[in-house]
Every structure is written in C-alpha cells, then in structure tokens.
Structure 1
Amino acid sequence: MTDHTTTPPFDAADHLPDELIERIRARAARHDAENTFPHDDLDDLRSAGYLGILVPQDRGGAGLGVAEAAILQQRLAGASPATALAVNMHLVWTGVAKVLRDRGIDDLAFVQEGAAAGEVFAFGISEAGNDLVLFGSDTDAAPLPDGGYAFTGTKIFTSLSPAWTHLGLHGLDTSSPDGPRLVYAFVPRSAESEGTIEVRDDWDTLGMRATQSRTTVLSGAVAPADRVVRFVPPGPNPDPLVFGIFSVFEVLLASVYTGIARRALDVAVATAGARTSKKTGKTYAQDPDIRWHIADMALAYDALPPQIASLAADVDALADHGARWFSLLAGLKHRATATAKRVVDDAMLVAGGSSYFTRSELSRLYRDVLAGAFHPSDPESAHATLASAWLGPIES
C-alpha cells in the first residue's frame, strides 16, 4: 500500500518494511481459513520493535506519537486487518501510557518498559450486555489486604488471547466507604498468578478471525498492588485514564478500518485494470460505470486519513477540546468504519463475481470490515453522543 495521502515526519517503512508487510500479507488468508492466531506475525512485529512504537526512547521504544502510530496501523491493516486489529489492543495500552505521561502522570511506566521488552498487553474491558463500557463494569473487584485486587467476572472480545502476557482490565469495587468505584489494573498471565484465568476457545466468527478475541473468565484473578493503576467513579467523567483509553482506542481503531478501505480501493483499481470487457475489448478501467465506482470509493476514502491525522495530532499536542473530545472521537470512529464498509462494498462490485469466492482477498476484506460496527463507539452510541453534544441531553 502506497501512502500518498499525507506526508508523515518519518518513514513508515523504517518500522514496517515492505518485506515484512508482504510476509504478513502472504499469511493472512491462511490464518483466516484455519481460524488461527498469527503467532508468526506477532513474532516478526516484536522483532521489528513494533510493540514499542509508542514507548518513549528513554524506555527503549521508538518514541512515536499517536499520529505516527495511526499511519503505521493503516499500513499494517492493508496487509492483514486481523493482525492489525489484534496488535491495536496492545498499542492502546502503550498509547494510554504515553497520553498519561505526556500529561504528567507516569503510573503506566511498567507498561512502557514491558512493551519495549516484548511483553504483550491485552485489553479486557468489554463485557456481555455492558453498554456502559468504560463507565461501568459487571466484574467484581475485591480489595486485598496488601493493596492488590482480585477480579471475578467475564470479559469478551479479548484480542490476543493466545499470546498476551498482561491483561489490562477494569472491575467495580463496591466495598469502598466513599461509594462504588471502578478499579483499573493489570493481571499477569503467569503460572505463579493467584486465582484462575480461563481463556475459552470460542472464537469462531465471520471475520477478523485471526484476532482470536476469545472470552476470558476471571475467578479471583489477582492484580498486585503495584499493578493497580487507577480508581475512577462510575459513569461519564473526564478522568485522564478514561480520556487516554477512549482517545487512543478510537483513533487507532479508525486507522485499522481506514487501512482496510485503502486496500480494497487498491485491489479494485488493480482488478479493473486487469479485466477485459468482451463487449468493448477494453479493460474495465475504461468503463464509465466502473470509473464512477472507483471515483466514488476514492472520494470517500480520501476524507479519512486527514481526519485521523488531525485528531491524533491533537492528542499528541495536548489540545483542549473540552467536552467536545468524546463526540469528535466517536464521530471519527463511526465515519471510518461506516465509510470503510461502503468502500469495500463498491470494491466487490468492481471486481465482479470472482470476489464472492472465499479465495478472493476482497471476500476476506468484506467479512473483516463488518466487525467495525461492533466496536465502541457503535453506531447507536456514536449518534447518542453526537446528539447530546449538539442538542444537549434528553430532558428527564
């Protein structure tokens, strides 16, 4: 995938070389067909230092910003959407660590140091039926005498399930004398860990199969005191950790689906140039209807990278959008995922019936892009957030 929509202040190939991208692309179909986790991709990315791209140089990382990581994630998603989405969840935590440190809060130094050393951090926030997401939890967080917490509950969509070494999660502590509070912490995945962590082998999905985002059942799983990082009141609030999670998650998620859109556009262009019409004797690249479809795809896609670059740069620059941050970020994610689906739909039409076969890359992109609507902020949540931002809350 050629990046010509923006001029980054770095060379993306320094972090994702062409030969690495092509190796990952060559494996993507196999991992999708076999419903297997791309351990080989993760090993290559770890060797390339990719797990530490958002870690500052003084802690062994590349020292990139969220804006640069967003460009890299678009590039990686063009090779393998599922690999990019899985790694995204690790990058969210390293991005949160950066957002906090940039704002004078260095509570996640261990995340940065661990990522630079090759540790893998998974994202354990989603719970079945919990539409509060960051603002509530059905997982019980029980305080321990030494300051640690024992977590009991079920997390879903835990990407990187076969490979993570630390699970960043939240749970609700109802024992505090000051009232219920959400506890954010990291549970290690080691033989010495207290409690039990069951990772179910239940990821058999329509698309994004290689993410292996399995269900994780926690039964008294212990986060040590030095891995309990934040206490936050339930409900919407501007806590820096909540902002860090929401901002990095939405920007990098938008980046993955924008990368899918770009790849679908590239494949459609190549296919149009390779197919010849029996009717005219010319390639479909000369067909007026096909040209209209390609132009419409490009018009939609071209709007996405600048939006991502702008908001990501604002996160890096500590811009103050106040209460507008959440609507801006939710809107970015929604536009990216909805637009990517529209672009892939048109790419299927351009490619014709061959794209309907599972051997077609577009067939896989079509299935992968459908997952975009299920990530927070989903379409309903995004519209509710934007409606409140412009119209105010619903009157009681």
Structure 2
Amino acid sequence: MSLLENKTIEDRLQTMGQLAKNFSSRASKYDEEGKFPFENIQDLKDAGYTTLTVPKQYGGAEISLYELIRLQEKLAEGDGATALSIGWHMGIIKNLGEKKRWNEPVFAMVCEEVNKGALINSAATEPQTGSPTRGGRPQTTAVQENGKWMLNGRKTFTTMSPVLDFFIVSAAIHGTEEVGNFLIPRNTKGILIEDTWDSIAMRGTGSHDLILQDVVIDNEKLVETLGKGDKKPNGWLLHIPACYLGIAKAAQKYSIQFAKEYSPNSITGTIIDLPAVKQKIGEMELHAMQASHFLYSAAKQWDEAAEEEKQKMGPLLGAVKLSVTNTAINIVDLAMRVVGARSLSLKNPLQRYYRDVRAGLHNPPMDDMTIQLLAQQAISAKE
C-alpha cells in the first residue's frame, strides 16, 4: 500500500482506511502492554505517509491542511495513539514549510532526511513550566561557547521518542531574555530517553522524558529565536481535534454494530430497533456531522487564506479544537451508553476509546485559554 502512488484524496483515504484496519487489530495489544507501536510507524513510513507534508520543492507532496486532517482522522479510527504520534511530525513539517522561519539549508537537510524516513517532533513541555502555551520560560538552558551551543535540561511528554530522529528543543538562552528552538539529532552525545510514560490514555505514544546532559551542537542548530509576539495561529494543530474525532467515529461505528447484533431475550429482534437506542445513535450522528463540518471548513479556510487572514484565525482554530474534542468525548459517552456495562470490559475497545479521547482535553490550546480568546474577540468586535 503506497500513498505516494495515489493521485487523489479519495484514493489516499481508501489506502489509509486499509492501514487503519491493520492498526485496529493491533491497538488492544499495544494499549494493554503500554508498548510503542513500532510496526504501525514503520507501515506509515513504507506507505510514504511521513513524507506527504514535505514541500514540493524538496521532493514531497505538500498536501493541504484539509487533506492532512482527513487522513489523520481516518488513521485515528484505527489507532488513536498512532495517529496522535505521527500527527506531530506531519504537522511540524507542514508548518515549517509554510512559515519558512528556518535557514533554508537546515530545513532542506531535514526534508531530505524525512524523505528517507526520518521523523521529527518538538520537545517543549517541562515539569516546572507545564504546557508551553502557558508562556512559562524553559528551565532547559543553552549556553554559547566557542561557536557551539551546550544544552542541559529535561523535557516531558516527548511524543514518539522511541523513534524520533530529530528533536526541536526549546531552551532559555543564557545571559538573555530570549528563548530559542534548537534542532538536535538523536545521535548527539548527551541525549537520553527516560522511560516515564505511564498515562492511562494514549498509552502507545511513547511520550517519555527527554534528558539533555551537556549536549553540544553546532551554532546553526539554533533554528529560531522565539519572542513574545511569536505565538501566531497554527493551522497544523488541527491534527489534534482530527485525531479525537477519528476515535469518536470508531466508537460510533462499534456501538451501531453492537446494537445490530445484540438481542437480549427480553425483546424480539435486536436493540437497534429500540427507540432509546435510536435516540442515542441519532445524537451521535448529529454530533459527528457538526464536528466534521466545523473541522473541515476551518481547514479549508486556512488553505485558501492569505497570510494576513491566517493571522486572524487564532480564535477560530481554538474554537474548533475545543468544540470538536469535547464533542468527540460526548460521542464516545453515547456509544458506551448504547453498549452498556459491556463497554467497561478490558476486552471491549470502547473503554480504550474513552480513555484516549479524554486526552484531548490536555492538548493545546487549553479550553480556558480558548474561551478567553473568544471573549476578547467578541468584546473587541463590539467596540
């Protein structure tokens, strides 16, 4: 199965659907054992998926944000942890290609490696600062000496750490008020992955701690300096709600199939014919339709927007994440109500969907920050 041979989004969705079925058959085992899905990631590499957001000038397909979120959603129907993991790599490459903030030779080198199968993710969260979206200054430090940088610190939630080839590490630049992003290859001396991921949700993401001990890198590996005004809207983060919507749709599909087959001896036929069950199924479908339309339309708007318009889309993007993620949680809850107590069995996929979908509440942007942003937009519009 090669996504590179597919010429249309419909063909790629069909191929991704086939991959998702394979991932679904392994998802329970990875979840129960808390193991990283190496086989899934390799399958995505072999299918060419990890190169699809590379800009065309560097040999990639440069797919649209709309196509990315559709593919991510389909992937998440098979395994949410795999989808969320690879989504960071896919989105970061897309974002770097759009914004062009890195020196061209460095980004060209990364794209060349990605085309060969390399994977990249950022490492920004720290125990003392929490989510980087809250604005805390990193305690990871970068000191410049003799044309080199030395970094020391610890990063948490480094998703996909077992297979990453590059880490984008945020660090406070010694002697200044600046924060920099540093590109660190995995084979750099002083890099250590500490196996700390013990979450009950998204157990297969391998989001362990990244430890940097006297890590020395070349001067050009400072790929960008971050200022207070650099928190601009990021369309690529829509891969997050796409993932949770995919999980919800998997739960919806499972519950409907269950209702078609389950026939307690207290009724004639199956529970699919019961008005109370139809009510819940109808509510799930309504929620799924609303979430899909909101997510897809925002992605298309981003794709079609000029740069000036994109800079005004922050409130919309936050609203999509908040709405779609919370709606996905509601869909999974309704699916569990259809299935009943069986949904709590460890053998039932719904209990995994329930745990995984709630992880979306803790991905950026946070709900409270989005509400504040929407409030400010509404207030400003009335002035």
CA distance in 1, matches of 2:15, 2:219: 36
1:243 pairs with 227, 232, 243, which one? Answer: 232
Partner residue in 2 for 1:227:
221
* Residue 154 (str. 1) matches residue 154 (str. 2): yes
* Residue 204 (str. 1) matches residue 198 (str. 2): yes
CA distance in 2, matches of 1:316, 1:110: 26
Partner residue in 2 for 1:163:
163
In the TM superposition, what is the alpha-carbon distance from 1:105 to its structure 2 partner?
7.9
Partner residue in 2 for 1:184:
181
Change (3 A) 1:18 1:376: closer
CA distance in 2, matches of 1:105, 1:304: 38
Gap runs ≥5 in structure 2 = 1-6
**Quick check: 1:81–1:256 contact (8 Å CA) kept in 2?**
yes
In the TM superposition, what is the alpha-carbon distance from 1:279 to its structure 2 partner?
2.9
CA distance in 2, matches of 1:355, 1:380: 30
Partner residue in 1 for 2:78:
79
Partner residue in 2 for 1:92:
91
Change (3 A) 1:113 1:345: same
Change (3 A) 1:321 1:255: same
State the SS of the aligned residue for 2:163.
coil
Change (3 A) 1:159 1:301: same
CA distance in 1, matches of 2:338, 2:41: 33
Moved more, 322-331 or 45-54: 322-331
**Quick check: 2:16–2:75 contact (8 Å CA) kept in 1?**
no
Equivalent AA in structure 2 for residue 331 of structure 1: A
Change (3 A) 1:330 1:129: farther
Partner residue in 1 for 2:144:
143
In the TM superposition, what is the alpha-carbon distance from 1:104 to its structure 2 partner?
11
CA distance in 1, matches of 2:236, 2:30: 27
Count of residue correspondences: 370
Change (3 A) 1:110 1:317: farther
Partner residue in 2 for 1:338:
326
In the TM superposition, what is the alpha-carbon distance from 1:142 to its structure 2 partner?
1.9
State the SS of the aligned residue for 2:9.
coil
Q: Cα deviations across residues 291-329 of structure 1 (Å, max 9, x unaligned)?
A: 111111111111122222222223333433366422211
Partner residue in 1 for 2:379:
391
* Residue 348 (str. 1) matches residue 331 (str. 2): no
**Quick check: 2:166–2:186 contact (8 Å CA) kept in 1?**
yes
**Quick check: 2:159–2:205 contact (8 Å CA) kept in 1?**
yes
Change (3 A) 1:316 1:229: farther
**Quick check: 1:187–1:224 contact (8 Å CA) kept in 2?**
no
In the TM superposition, what is the alpha-carbon distance from 1:277 to its structure 2 partner?
4.0
CA distance in 1, matches of 2:167, 2:242: 23
CA distance in 2, matches of 1:197, 1:340: 37
What are the equivalent positions in structure 2 for 1:369-380 lying under 5 Å apart?
369-380=357-368
Report the aligned-residue RMSD: 2.3
CA distance in 1, matches of 2:88, 2:298: 19
What are the equivalent positions in structure 2 for 1:107-146 lying under 5 Å apart?
108-131=107-130, 133-134=132-133, 135=135, 136-146=137-147
Change (3 A) 1:121 1:230: same
Change (3 A) 1:284 1:388: same
Change (3 A) 1:117 1:138: same
CA distance in 1, matches of 2:13, 2:357: 27
**Quick check: 1:76–1:84 contact (8 Å CA) kept in 2?**
yes
CA distance in 1, matches of 2:93, 2:169: 14
In the TM superposition, what is the alpha-carbon distance from 1:219 to its structure 2 partner?
2.2
In the TM superposition, what is the alpha-carbon distance from 1:389 to its structure 2 partner?
2.5
In the TM superposition, what is the alpha-carbon distance from 1:172 to its structure 2 partner?
1.6
Partner residue in 2 for 1:3:
none
**Quick check: 2:16–2:71 contact (8 Å CA) kept in 1?**
no
In the TM superposition, what is the alpha-carbon distance from 1:12 to its structure 2 partner?
4.6
Equivalent AA in structure 2 for residue 184 of structure 1: N
1:309 pairs with 296, 312, 319, which one? Answer: 296
Partner residue in 2 for 1:270:
257
- Which 4+ stretches in 1 moved above 6 angstroms? none
Change (3 A) 1:217 1:391: farther
* Residue 329 (str. 1) matches residue 317 (str. 2): yes
Partner residue in 2 for 1:47:
46
Q: Cα deviations across residues 112-137 of structure 1 (Å, max 9, x unaligned)?
A: 22211100102211222425615442
Equivalent AA in structure 2 for residue 182 of structure 1: V
State the SS of the aligned residue for 2:232.
helix
Q: Cα deviations across residues 65-103 of structure 1 (Å, max 9, x unaligned)?
A: 1211110000000000000011112112212122224x9
**Quick check: 1:12–1:71 contact (8 Å CA) kept in 2?**
no
CA distance in 2, matches of 1:155, 1:15: 37
Q: Cα deviations across residues 260-308 of structure 1 (Å, max 9, x unaligned)?
A: 1111111111111111243331221111111111111111111122222
Change (3 A) 1:243 1:116: farther
In the TM superposition, what is the alpha-carbon distance from 1:209 to its structure 2 partner?
0.4
State the SS of the aligned residue for 2:196.
coil
Change (3 A) 1:12 1:214: farther
**Quick check: 2:96–2:102 contact (8 Å CA) kept in 1?**
no
State the SS of the aligned residue for 1:355.
helix
Q: TM-score, normalised by structure 2?
A: 0.90
**Quick check: 2:181–2:224 contact (8 Å CA) kept in 1?**
yes
Equivalent AA in structure 2 for residue 130 of structure 1: T
